[in-house]
Chains A and B, each alone.
Chain A
C-alpha cells in the first residue's frame, strides 16, 4: 500500500488471465470418526504480480488452503472437491511427480517458524544449493554456489558467501527467515506462498523482513499469497483480503474497504479486536483532540463486538486510573526497582572472549499502586529477567526490589511465602503453565492449599468464585487442561494467580500466544479485574500495540537497559528515543488511514 503503483494493479489486471484461481475448494482430514472438513468451498482469484492476504484465527483453514495449493497437506488431509487452477493448469489433477515440478520452481513457499524449518544437521549453503540444483536453476558446483550466494544476498543476508558453511543454529531467527525467503524465491517463482512468515520474529525484524520481501517480490514480479492472523498486517501488506472463519470465506475484497467498512460480523469483531488497529485508532483520536479523552471517540460498541472491543476496554480502564501526574496526590508505589542488575556467566567460551552477559543493567522504575506498567522490549532485551527477579525466581546480582516499601532481598521462608501471596505471576504459554495431570479445580485451588487458606469447602467455594470472576463456567472445575481451549487455559492461569487475592500480578507475555479475539477478551478481563480488585499490573510484552490499550506507563527496554520510560501517551505521542520510534513504526498498519 505504500507504493501507489501497486494499487493500480487490480484494474490493469482485469484483462489478464488469473495466475491462481481456486474454485469451491474442499479439504478434509480422515479421522477415526470419519472425514472432518477443514476447508469448505473456498474461492480465491489471484492476478499475476498481485498480493492477496488470507486472514483468520488458528483453525480457520487458512494454512490448510495454502498447503492444498502445493499438495502438502499434513497427515491424512486430502482435497475432496473443487479446483485449483494455476497458470491455466489444473493442479488437483497433477501426479506427485508433476507437483514436484511445480513446487519450488513455479510456486515458492516461505514457512512460519524459522526455527524448525531448516534441517539442523545440514549447513545453510547445502540447503540452498540443493534447492537450486533440484529446480535446475544452475548446475555445476561453482555455478550453484554462486547462485546460492546471490539468492541469500538478495534475501538480505550479510556476508552470504562466508556464511554458506554455517549451520542453522548459528543463525538468529531473523537470519534464518531470510534464508527461507531466499530458498522460496530462488527460482523466481510466479507465486510465493508466505504462511505467517514473520509471526515468530521480533516486531522490528518482522517489519524489515516484510519490507524486504515486498521490494523483492515486486522486482521479480512474483505474486504473493500472504497468510496471517493479524488483520492490520494483512491490510498493510496486501491489496486484496480474504477473511476466513471455520473453513469458509466470510468476506473478501480490497483491504481498505474491508477495514473501513467490514460487512460480516466476524470481520467486524476482528477489526475491533486487532491491537494494531485499535492502537492506531486511539492514536489518531488523541492526536486530533489533543486532550486524552477516549470518550470523544465517535464510537459505539455494537452487539457483535461486545466484550471484544479494545477501545471500549481501554476507555473503561481509563475511568478508574488515578488522575495524571501532578493533578493529584500520587498513590504509594507497589513496586520500586532500583539499579537492578543481573549478570549471567557463560560457559564454554574461548579464552579472552567476554564470559558474562548482562541481562539486566541498572534497571530502575516504580509502579504506582493500582496502575499498569508495561515493560516492552524484543527478545533478549532482559524484560523477562527483570520479571523473574521481581518474582524472586532469580536472584539479582545487585540492586534492590521494594514491594510495598519493603526490601524483598533478605526475605526467606515465611516472609518469602507472604510476599508470594501478595504477588502472583501469569506466564505466556497457556499449554505449558498448567499441569496436565491436575484438574482445573485443583490447579486453581493449589495456591490456597499451599498457603493453608481455609478448609476444603471454603477453598472449593473460593475456586467457584474465581471461575465466575474470570468468566468460566463452574462446571470446568473437574475438567483437565487438555479439554480446554488456549483462551480458557489462560483464564484458568489468571484465576490461579488471583486465588490468594494478590495486590500485584506480573503478566509475562500473558496474551502473546493467543488469537486476536481471545486476546481481546483476556485484555478486557484484565481491565475489568483491575478496576474491580484494585490490582497492580506489571505487564511484560514485545507488542507495543497491546501496550496502547492496557498500560498507564511504559518502560522500553533494549539490551538490558531501560532506554525510555514515560506515560503511555507520552511514549506514543512523542517518543524520545530512536529505538522507541522504531518499535512504534513496527506496529502494523502504519500506512493505513482509518475512519475513526
Chain B
C-alpha cells in the first residue's frame, strides 16, 4: 500500500512540471506588455521600466524566465507579485478560504446528492423521483452566476437570512450560501448518477438473493444497494472537485469571497506569470491529491480492487 502511494506521488512530479511549463508559456504568449499595462494611460519613465523589467526578469528569454522561476520554487521562493507582495504570502492568505468553500460545497453536494439520488432510485417513476429530475434539470441548465444572483437576491436581500457578501476572514456562516450555490453546479449530476446506479444495483442478482435469505428491506437498502451504488459515485466526485475549484472563481467574484478566484483572475488579466503559475500549480497539486485519496477510497469500497494492487 505504501509503495502504491509513493508510486502515485512520484507520478505527480512530471505532471506538475508539465502543467507549470504549459501555464507559464501561455501567460508569456499573452499579447501586450504587462508592465506598460500597469501604468495605464500615463507614459512611464524608461529607466523605471528598465529596472522593473530586470527585477521581474522580463528582459530574459522565455525559457530562462521559466527556469529562474522553477529554481526559485526549490528555495521556497514563488516570486513576487507586481504589488510587491511575495506570491507565497498570497497563496497562504487565499487558499484556505477557497478550500474551505470547496469542501463545504463538496459535503453539501455529496450528502444531498446521494440522499436524493437514493430515494429517487428506490422510488423510480414516483412523484419524488419525477420532481427531483425536473428540479435537477433546471439546475443543470442554469449558469452558475444566475443561480448565485438569484440566491443572493432571495436569501440575502428579500429574506435577509444571510449577508449578501462575505466578510473578511470568511467565517463559515457567511460561506454557507456561496457553498450551496457552488454545490448546485454538480449537485444535479450527482443526483442523476446516484439514481442510475441505485436502479442498476437494485436489479442485480445478489440483491434478489439477499431478499431470498430473509433479510428485510431496511437492511438491504444500506448494506447491499447503497454501498455498491457508491462506487461509481465516488469516482465522479473526484473529477468533480476540479469543477468546484473552477466554479469557485465565479462564485467568489459574486459573493466577494477573499479567496483564490478573485486573486487569480486579476493576476491573469495583468499577465503576472509567477502568480498565475503558482496558483495553478497548487490547484493541480490539490487535484492530484484528491484523486489519490479517491482511488484509495475506491479500494476501500470495492475489495476486488483492493487485492489487485
Given A111-B208, A134-B219, A121–B227 Cβ distance below 8 Å?
A: yes
- Main DSSP-derived SS at the A contact region: loop
> A170 contacts the other chain (Cβ, under 8 Å)?
yes
Given A167-B307, A169-B303, A169-B304, A131–B227 Cβ distance below 8 Å?
A: no
Closest approach, in angstroms, between the C-beta of A346 and any C-beta of chain B? 12
Closest approach, in angstroms, between the C-beta of B130 and any C-beta of chain A? 18
The reply to whether A170 and B209 contact each other, CB–CB distance below 8 Å, is no
Given A121-B303, A130-B219, A72–B214 Cβ distance below 8 Å?
A: no
Q: Which residues of B contact A103 (CB under 8 A)?
A: 211-214
B210-225: CB near A (< 8 Å → 1, else 0) gives: 1111111101000110
Q: Which of A112-120, A313-321, A460-468 faces chain B?
A: A112-120
Q: Which residues of B contact A104 (CB under 8 A)?
A: 212-215
CB-based nearest B residue for A75: B203
CB-based nearest A residue for B308: A348
> B59 contacts the other chain (Cβ, under 8 Å)?
no
The reply to whether B213 and A183 contact each other, CB–CB distance below 8 Å, is yes
Given A103-B214, A130-B219, A183-B213, A113–B205 Cβ distance below 8 Å?
A: yes
Q: Which residues of A contact B308 (CB under 8 A)?
A: 348
Looking at chain B, what size class is its interface with the partner chain? 20 to 34
Q: Which residues of B contact A135 (CB under 8 A)?
A: 213-214
Query: Could you tell me how many residues of chain A have their Cβ less than 8 Å away from some Cβ of chain B?
Result: 35
**Contact residues of A between 69 and 119, Cβ < 8 Å to B:** 70, 72, 74-75, 96, 100-105, 108-109, 111, 113, 116-119
The distance in angstroms between the C-alpha atoms of A384 and B301, with both chains bound, is 34
Closest approach, in angstroms, between the C-beta of A345 and any C-beta of chain B? 16
A341-360: CB near B (< 8 Å → 1, else 0) gives: 00000001000000000000
The reply to whether B212 and A70 contact each other, CB–CB distance below 8 Å, is yes
Q: Which residues of B contact A348 (CB under 8 A)?
A: 308
Q: Which residues of A contact B302 (CB under 8 A)?
A: 120-121
> B17 contacts the other chain (Cβ, under 8 Å)?
no
CB-based nearest B residue for A131: B213
> A223 contacts the other chain (Cβ, under 8 Å)?
no
The distance in angstroms between the C-alpha atoms of A117 and B308, with both chains bound, is 22
> B265 contacts the other chain (Cβ, under 8 Å)?
no
B281-293: CB near A (< 8 Å → 1, else 0) gives: 0000000000000
> A241 contacts the other chain (Cβ, under 8 Å)?
no
The reply to whether A121 and B228 contact each other, CB–CB distance below 8 Å, is yes
Closest approach, in angstroms, between the C-beta of A48 and any C-beta of chain B? 20
The distance in angstroms between the C-alpha atoms of A111 and B207, with both chains bound, is 11
User: A72: which of B203, B211, B216, B227 is its contact (CB, 8 Å)?
Assistant: B211
> A180 contacts the other chain (Cβ, under 8 Å)?
yes
The reply to whether B214 and A131 contact each other, CB–CB distance below 8 Å, is yes
The reply to whether B214 and A167 contact each other, CB–CB distance below 8 Å, is no
The reply to whether B213 and A117 contact each other, CB–CB distance below 8 Å, is no
Q: Which residues of A contact B227 (CB under 8 A)?
A: 121-122
> B68 contacts the other chain (Cβ, under 8 Å)?
no
Given A116-B204, A119-B224, A111–B209 Cβ distance below 8 Å?
A: yes
A435-463: CB near B (< 8 Å → 1, else 0) gives: 00000000000000000000000000000
> B206 contacts the other chain (Cβ, under 8 Å)?
yes
Closest approach, in angstroms, between the C-beta of B214 and any C-beta of chain A? 2
CB-based nearest A residue for B228: A121
The reply to whether A111 and B303 contact each other, CB–CB distance below 8 Å, is no
Query: Please, could you name 22 A-B residue pairs with CB atoms under 8 Å apart, sorted by A?
Result: A72-B211, A96-B217, A100-B215, A100-B216, A108-B212, A109-B212, A109-B213, A111-B205, A111-B208, A116-B205, A116-B206, A117-B206, A117-B208, A119-B224, A120-B228, A120-B302, A121-B227, A131-B214, A134-B213, A134-B215, A170-B307, A348-B308
A-to-B contact residues, CB < 8 Å: 70, 72, 74-75, 96, 100-105, 108-109, 111, 113, 116-123, 130-131, 134-135, 167, 169-170, 180, 183-184, 187, 348
Given pairs A72-B212, A109-B212, A116-B206, 6 additional interface contacts (CB within 8 A)? A100-B216, A101-B214, A104-B214, A117-B206, A123-B303, A134-B216
